[in-house]
Chain A
Amino acid sequence: MEGAARSEREALWAVRGISKSFPGVQALRNVSLDIRAGEVHALLGENGSGKSTLAKCLAGVHTPDEGEIYQRGARVALRNPAEARARGVATIYQEFSLIPTLTVAENVFLGNYRTRSGRIDWKAMRAATLEVLERLSLNLDPDAVVKTLSVAGQQMVEIAKAISMDSSLLIMDEPTASLGLSETHHLMEVIRRLTGQGKAVIYISHRLDEVFEIADCVTVLKDGQHVATAPVSALKMADVVRMMVGFDIERHYPKERNVKEEPCLEVEGLSSDNGVSEVSFAVRVGEVLGLGGMVGSGRTEIARAIYGLDRVTSGRVRLAGKEVRFRSPRAAIAHGVGLIPENRKVDGNFFNFDGPRNITVARIRDVVSMLLLRLSREAEVGRAYVKKLSISPSALERSVRYLSGGNQQKVIIARWLFARARLLIMDEPTQGIDIGAKLDVYRVINELTQSGISVLLISSDFPELLAMSDRVAVVRDGRILCIAKAGELSEYELVSRASGAGEKAAAS
């Protein structure tokens, strides 16, 4: 399959003239494309571009209003996910559909049990699981309980599940969202193995560098319409971004430098009961200090220790020169520290509140007068931040649940602006949000630093981290290995130190 030109390979799946609308929004408009056997076909586009909807049409979740779907040249109707599965389409979503308390083998054959004379044949399934795992060169124990596996391991189980159903098309939605660098590379290998076996993969991701690494060809959608399909070798990243966003981004990352002399945060010998070990660093006013490390290196734990979530066992923290010890987030907030958590859906937003109520919650006293909440003042606050951060105005009236990931993130940022944070800890602020919203977040970071707010930035997107930070601290095993000016650290160096001195990163 490697050498064959794209047009010579079989079109496993094709869609023609697909349109799909939901009440109030035309999600897809006359989209056509081919998916060929043995190729990784990336679907790119901002949130709202229709790529998820298109994938769901192929997965049988949505039925298109117009257009046809063809499998190997024959027209098919995919009325529900079961029919799609039966035709060999397997989807791996961001949220896994595994049962955590069952084993790998039990999950791989979930709902698809092999029986022998009416009884479930566990022996055969276990053997089949082993075979599938071997085919993918996966080092998993079929009897391991899924919840003991890492996120990357669980994702491998999902893939094994897809293979066991003899799928010819795998749709992967943001597969590397929760993976670290080496796990991502392993996934890429697995995908190459799959395509080597003739399977097709639809790869949906916001991470352009990954897409350029793994994809054979790329389709860009914008506002539900097809913009372009081209082999990856014919495209430059800037071209793709331009197609997705509609304007030219020469500088991918719009970083402004606003560092002042005065210290904002000074940490000396900080250790916590959650793995932080003798960490020392300083952040100046208006500075963005990036914490770079692999998943599990202790970056979030450092943030937790500073924010009063974990118990500090030794060391000192000084905020604006004054020594502090925060025993709870409440204390940290009172001193002007804010935290944007990694998992905004679980820890960030109040889905039973609209935008204004989400914004005022960390400093509610500012909308109180004479012991009573002033709802009109709160609404004003809401409007002010909607304007300032370009948040979708529907946030003013409805629950933030209905907002896109990017808008939800901006609401949380607004919360800390309203709470007058002087130091904002941002843990993976652009994870899972589209390019337009990411740019908004970068713009906000610039505005924050402009007004003298410092940022402690945790990001697994190393190009982003290196571009948006003034300095970067390399974190490993709860310790800081070194701190360098962002411009003087290359991604290669960052990765190699973060993954262990002397070990080469698994980069190409």
Chain B
Amino acid sequence: MEPIKRFLRSTIAGPIFAFLAVAAVVALTTPRFLHVQNLSNVSLQVSIVAIVAIGGTLVILTGGIDLSPGATVALVCVSLAHLVRKMGVPLPTAIALVIVLGMVLGLLNGLLSTYGKIPSFIVTLATMNVYRGAAYLITKALTIFSVSPLLEPIFYGRLLGIPMPFYYVVILYGVAALFLRYTVPGRFLYAVGGNESAALLSGIPVNRVKLLAFVLAGLTAAIAGVLETAWLNSGSPAYGQELALGNIAAAVIGGASLAGGSGNMFATLFGALTVAVVQNGLNLHAVQAAWQDITLGVVLVLAVGLDMWRGALGRLLGRLVLRRSLARPEAAPRRPSAPREDGRTNEGLE
């Protein structure tokens, strides 16, 4: 009973339930959901937003936010396409270059948000436009097609019958989760997000930590950009538009707090899966595109709301069914600017 209760109270429970609930609804309403072909499609589609969500979660952990990954993806796609197709650069070199480009774009976001003292929301709102604008400039608003035949196996290749993107997601999430739990920079991300002034007083190089988060976000966006180019074998400045909000939604459904200091990599993955399944369900029902946006919004509120309310819901159920109130510790009195009080501890570190 005890391990079950611990799991139920853990931060990953909410997003897992959200995902299972949503999958159940879709599976029950259409038989095509559980077809191998469909599931394969879903996993390919989700891989890109899932990888972007890794970087997004890291930034959110420090208390910042990154709205620019979609634009980074566009710029990376377009640059990759341009380098290979228009400038004849060999594919491996081009991929290395655009990965570095992504990190530089992230670095720029980071420098402005830390040493530049501009809130990350404003910075990335601006760079969201600047990076995409640059993408439009490079291709003069056109799409570059047929980038390279070598791209195909990167996305469509299979190892032991499983598509490559699955491996990318698993490896990257594994590395990210280990990084957060077992390395000093990972720990510092949580510290800076949890209480920035205490982090400063404890000798943590706060600005460098935030910078790292943004650079890593740029890295994951670049990887996602390479995958997107491989998926469509083309580069267009219009790509990746849904990624900005999609990746934040994944992190938030995954339980990350936008105030910083709490979040869990695998929970984010389930957040991304939840979003993907909802979208897939709507597609299978041939629902208009407009409804997809509406549904995404509703799912976001429900998933996060349920997570917030599960404490209260649990107590209500407890009182009605079991006729005793569940434990609720008396919280310490709070100053207006005190760290968050939503019951999250060692997010992802447990």
Contacts and interface: CB of A to CB of B under 8 A. Distances in A.
Given A330-B204, A334-B203, A357-B349, 14 more contacts: A23-B326, A307-B201, A329-B201, A345-B339, A346-B197, A347-B201, A348-B201, A350-B194, A351-B339, A362-B203, A364-B184, A373-B183, A375-B181, A399-B344
Given A93-B333, A330-B205, A402-B331, A348 B341 contact: no
Interface residues on B, range: 35 or more
Tell which of A332, A372, A405 has the most Cβ of chain B within 10 Å. A372
Interface string B149-193: 000000000000000000000000000000001111001101101
B39 interface: no
A160 to B, nearest CB: 21
A368 interface: yes
A345 B335 contact: yes
B31 interface: no
Contacts of B201: 307, 309, 329, 339, 341, 347-348
Given A350-B194, A352-B345, A402 B184 contact: no
A209 B187 CA distance: 44
12 contacts: A329-B202, A329-B203, A341-B201, A346-B195, A350-B194, A350-B261, A352-B195, A353-B346, A362-B203, A368-B184, A399-B344, A401-B331
Interface in A92-141: 93-95
Contacts of A95: 333-336
Contacts of A404: 332
Given A353-B190, A364-B187, A372-B182, A415 B202 contact: yes
Contacts of B182: 372-373, 375
Nearest to B261: A352
A465 B261 CA distance: 36
B8 interface: no
A354 B334 CA distance: 18
A191 B347 CA distance: 47
Interface string B297-337: 00000000000000000000000000001111111111111
B262 interface: yes
Contacts of B347: 352
Interface residues of A, number: 46
Interface in B92-129: none
A239 B338 CA distance: 37
A352 B184 contact: no
A327 B340 CA distance: 30
Interface string A299-337: 000000001010000000000000000001110111000
Contact of B337 (A341, A346, A350): A346
A333 B190 contact: no
B202 A351 contact: no
A349 interface: yes
A201 B201 CA distance: 39
A375 B261 CA distance: 18
Nearest to A331: B203
Given A401-B332, A402-B329, A354 B345 contact: yes
A407 to B, nearest CB: 10
A504 interface: no
Contacts of A94: 333
Contacts of A22: 328, 330
A361 interface: yes
Nearest to A347: B197
A362 B195 CA distance: 13
A398 interface: yes
B93 to A, nearest CB: 30
Contacts of B337: 346
A445 B331 CA distance: 28
Nearest to B327: A23
A415 B201 CA distance: 12
B198 interface: yes
A419 B184 CA distance: 15
A24 interface: yes
B327 A24 contact: yes
B200 interface: yes
A330 B209 CA distance: 13
A9 interface: no
A352 B190 contact: yes
A399 B183 CA distance: 20
Interface in A1-41: 22-24
A409 to B, nearest CB: 12
B262 to A, nearest CB: 5
Contacts of A401: 331-332, 339, 341
A362 B200 CA distance: 10
Given A345-B335, A399-B345, A373 B187 contact: yes
